[in-house]
Amino acid sequence: EVSQSVPSPPFVLQPIYQGRLPVYHFDAYRLDSARDLLELGFEECDDGVVLLEWSERVLEALPPERLELRFSLLEEGRRVALSAIGPEPERLLEAVC
């Protein structure tokens, strides 16, 4: 359970939120390449949860197995689609759905 507000990081490329597990929040919008994301320490965040906005800008840096959340704007709100890529994420998704 997260008890603090988690805003979009407009000027911070990688804030960290503390909870049961650390949550690493990356925003790739201002990055020029996947190399920039890796230089921020993206691959070193394996002890918690990684949230990555604008992931389509850095696809080659994404792990082969992951859970993806896709947000779509609707007239009456937002739609969230959760998908699993790889066997372990598929098991996790089945456990929560």
pLDDT tens for each residue of 28-54: 998 999 999 999 889 998 889 899 999
Q: pLDDT digit string (tens) for 69-78?
A: 999 999 999 9
Query: For 48-68, how does the pLDDT look when each residue is reduced to its tens digit (9 = 90+)?
Result: 989 999 999 999 999 999 999
Task: Using the CB atoms, write b or e for 20-44: b if 16+ within 10 Å.
Answer: eeebbbbbbeebeebebbeebebee
